Amino acid sequence: MKKFSDLNLVEPLLRAVKAEGYDTPTPIQAQAIPPALTGKDVLGVAQTGTGKTAAFTLPILQRLEELDIQPRQNTPLALILTPTRELAIQISESLKTYGKYLRQHHTVIFGGVGQNPQVAALRRGVDTLVATPGRLLDLMEQGHVYLDEVETFVLDEADRMLDMGFIHDVRKVVKELPKQRQTLLFSATMPSAITSLAEQVLLDYVRIEVKPAATTADRVDQRVMFVEKSNKRKLLEDLFSDPDIDRAIVFTRTKHGANRVAKFLNQRGIESDAIHGNKSQGARQRALKNFKDGGVRALIATDIASRGIDVEDVSHVINFDLPNEPESYVHRIGRTARAGADGMAVSFCDEGEVDYLRDIEKIIRQKVEVDGEHAFHEDRIARMHADHTRPRAKAPSNSRGGGQRGRSSRNGGGRSGGRGRRR
């Protein structure tokens, strides 16, 4: 088994990794870091919770340190594009953690807050810029960001970019990048649109696929509870009478649903807060910090917000509503059982969600264990699910039978202004 000391990382990075208590890299880190350090393009197919943030932040920090270039104002040397504000903040924290012994600067820009502090940070000059697409394009149009000196470009959570309608924005950003650059693209799934994008932005790349979607759930004890929709809140309250549920994320399909569930739990003395796209950035950050610090027992979240939640020791994930996209189920339950720990995922399934459960079991390639002992068990819905999953006779059918990109000088055609070595 590889150790971080086997990955050719420089001493300041190894010191920072050790300070965080890490010794052995995760599979995505062990496979992605070596080629990324040499400048190769990388396509990483990996779920959240697999350690992929460090798989690209560590190589960026090391390669920029080796380049030893002083960044110009408004002109980052590395760009990390990510779909949500929460993820952008998480990546920024990773850069701070692993780069604390280096002489590098980074900043993070996203919408929902005033732009002036972000503009001021860019004007001072940053090595790495972490950004969401909308705010990045806005500041580019205003002349506050130029991408013509980017050495390394990271596209994180590419499939979520697609889900959120950001692919057009991503393509606009890519057009402004230098042709000669390193690109690292990470995605949990590879729908056709992302495969096409990868072929366009990557050159002679290394593909790394650490695990199929189903295996991310292997460390999670999964249960399904069949319940009438009208009894879901009572069942949720009943679950929280168990003291073992000390830190839980409860997922709903809608923002309004998240607010209603949070209000219901708080009224019953169960400290809760909601996090979703309609919340202001300050409210979202406060809710997440409260949850991390133990100030609230339950965080009620929607799928859009879920990928930005990276909290250790989440004991339970509760699917108050089953997702209508089975891939989202895998992302949701990946919020527990982090870093090798075990976790519990409980899913409520009402009559209208039986088809969703069937699709989930298909993608995870296993049956979710039924908990029929709770007070609100609805046997009629359980039988509906059993009818769906009962094997049927099949009708007869007819069978049918990277090298590193070259690097050239950036002095021609760029904007004037010198870059020196780090001081």
**pLDDT bracket for residue 312 (50, 70, 90):** confident
The average confidence (pLDDT) of the chain is 86
| CA nearest to 43, candidates 175, 154, 170, 164 | 154
State which of 159, 187, 211 marks the end of a domain.
Answer: 211
Which pLDDT value is given to residue 126?
Answer: 97
Q: Is residue 395 one of the residues assigned to a domain?
A: no
Q: Comparing 50-64, 270-284, 291-305, 332-346, which segment has the lowest mean pLDDT?
A: 332-346
Residues 102 and 10 reside in one and the same domain: yes
Tell the burial category of 234 from Cβ atoms under 10 Å away from its Cβ (0-12, 13-18, 19+). middle
CATH number for the domain that contains residue 357:
3.40.50.300
Q: Residue 421 domain-assigned?
A: no
DSSP 5: G
For residues 223 and 335, membership in a common domain is answered with yes
Residue 268 has pLDDT above 90, yes or no: yes
Q: Which residue has the higher pLDDT, 196 or 338?
A: 196
Q: What is the pLDDT of residue 217?
A: 55
Answer for the pair 329, 308: CB distance below 8 angstroms, yes or no.
no
Q: What is the pLDDT of residue 399?
A: 36
Last residue of a domain, one of 180, 211, 242: 211
* One domain for residues 270 and 121: no
Q: What is the pLDDT of residue 396?
A: 40
Q: Is the same domain home to 297 and 367?
A: yes
pLDDT band of 307, cuts 50, 70, 90:
low
pTM confidence score:
0.63
**Sequence-separated (6 or more) residues with CB below 8 Å from residue 204:** 40, 41, 402, 403, 404, 405
Question: Does 179 score more than 90 pLDDT?
Answer: yes
Question: What does the block give as tokens for 336?
Answer: 């527990």
**What is the pLDDT at residue 280?**
77
- Domain co-membership, 221 together with 363: yes
Mean pLDDT throughout 266-277? 92
Q: How confident is the model at residue 305 (pLDDT cuts 50, 70, 90)?
A: low
Q: Which residue has the tokens 């094997």?
A: 391
Question: What is the reported pLDDT for 422?
Answer: 54
Instruction: Tally the domains of the chain.
Output: 2
Quick check: is 415 in a domain? no
Q: Is residue 34 part of a domain?
A: yes
Q: What are phi and psi of 95, to 5 degrees?
A: -60, -40
pLDDT > 50? residue 409 = no
User: Are residue 193 and residue 246 in the same domain, yes or no?
Assistant: no
403 falls within a domain: no
Amino acid occupying residue 143? G
Return the pLDDT at 10. Answer: 97
Confidence of residue 164 (pLDDT cuts 50, 70, 90): confident
8 Å CB contact between 300 and 262 = yes
More confident position, 306 or 5: 5
Q: Model confidence over 192-239: pLDDT tens digits? A: 899 999 999 999 999 999 864 444 456 789 999 999 999 999 999 999
Q: For 14-25, write each residue's pLDDT tens digit.
A: 999 998 888 899
Say what the pLDDT of residue 116 is. 97
Q: Which domain holds residue 314?
A: 214-389
Let me know whether 248 and 291 are in one domain.
Answer: yes
Across the strands, what pairs with 182? 152
45-63: pLDDT as tens digits: 987 667 899 999 999 999 9
What 3-state class would DSSP assign to 87? Answer: helix
For residue 203, the model assigns a pLDDT of: 96
Name the band, by pLDDT with cuts 50, 70 and 90, for residue 390: low
Residue 406 has a pLDDT of: 38
Residue 184 lies in a domain: yes
Do 161 and 20 lie in a common domain?
Answer: yes
In a domain, 333, yes or no: yes
**Residue 101: what pLDDT?**
97
223 and 156 housed in the same domain: no
Q: End-to-end distance of the chain based on CA atoms, in angstroms?
A: 38
pLDDT at 334 over 50: yes
Whether residues 289 and 368 fall in one domain: yes
> 241 and 174 share a domain?
no
List, in sequence order, every residue forming a beta bridge with 187; answer none if it has no partner. 45
Instruction: Answer whether residue 118 is part of any domain.
Output: yes
Alpha helices in 207-335 (DSSP H): 232-239, 255-267, 281-293, 303-306, 326-333
Structure tokens at 254: 């809608």
Domain stop point among 147, 178, 211: 211
Kind and range of the H or E element at 91?
Answer: helix 85-98
State the pLDDT at residue 405: 39
What pLDDT is stored for residue 398 in this prediction?
A: 41
C-alpha angle 12-13-17 in degrees, rounded to nearest 5? 120
User: Which of 330, 308, 402 has its CA nearest to residue 43?
Assistant: 402
**H runs (alpha helix) in 268-353:** 281-293, 303-306, 326-333
Residue 203 shares a structural domain with residue 321: no
Tell me, what's the pLDDT at 65? 96
When pLDDT is averaged across residues 121-136 and rounded to a whole number, the result is 97
